[in-house]
Amino acid sequence: MLATPKKYTLVGATAEGGTRLNAFDHALLAAGVGNLNLLRVSSILPPGAERTERLEVPPGALLPIAYGSIESDEPGELIAAAVAVGLATEEDGFGVIMEFSGRGSAREAEARVRAMAEEAFATRGIPLRRVLTRSVEHRVVRAGCAFAAVALWY
């Protein structure tokens, strides 16, 4: 069994590239996770995890991460990605991460992840104390990417 992450950081960025994959890679670099091996995880924030603004992980490390990402090569298209972290009361001690990506604005994407976090807590019957969000949007020039994530680390 892997160790439970003790820290989390919300990140997000957009980028252009020569191809959709290059745009994704450039967005990862701009978000600060491009030189890491991403391990996509489902959406539970570990109990007691501490929020930090700065991700401090050595290059090549394995990084558990929940993310929303969209790439497009349609010039002029508006794309967005967002994540939300819903935090329970101190007694319940954990959180739920929701992610979304699609066509539209960062504001629309953020509203969707916020609503998803609220529903996740209602379904669990647990009081929701707070919702943290990170959203980004990008108007595609040639090939673009919008990426938002919650990185879980040690």
The architecture CATH gives domain 7-153: 3-Layer(bba) Sandwich (3.50)
Annotated active-site positions, please? 37, 42-43, 99
Please compute the mean of the pLDDT values over residues 90-117 and round it to a whole number: 93
pTM of the model: 0.96
What value, to the nearest 5°, has the Cα angle with vertex 125 and ends 121 and 126? 60
Query: What is the average pLDDT across 63-69?
Result: 98
CB-based contacts of 91: which residues, under 8 Å, 6+ apart? none
DSSP-derived 3-state class of residue 50: strand
End-to-end CA distance of the chain: 15
pLDDT band at 3 (very low <50, low <70, confident <90, very high): confident
Confidence of residue 72 (pLDDT cuts 50, 70, 90): very high
In this structure, is the dihedral angle defined by the CA atoms of residues 61, 62, 64 and 67, taken in order, positive or negative?
A: positive
In this predicted structure, what is the pLDDT of residue 42?
92
Domain ranges of the chain: 7-153
Q: What pLDDT does 1 receive?
A: 72
The residue assigned the tokens 């539209």 is 104
Distances (CA, A) of 45 to 18, 87, 95: 35, 8, 5
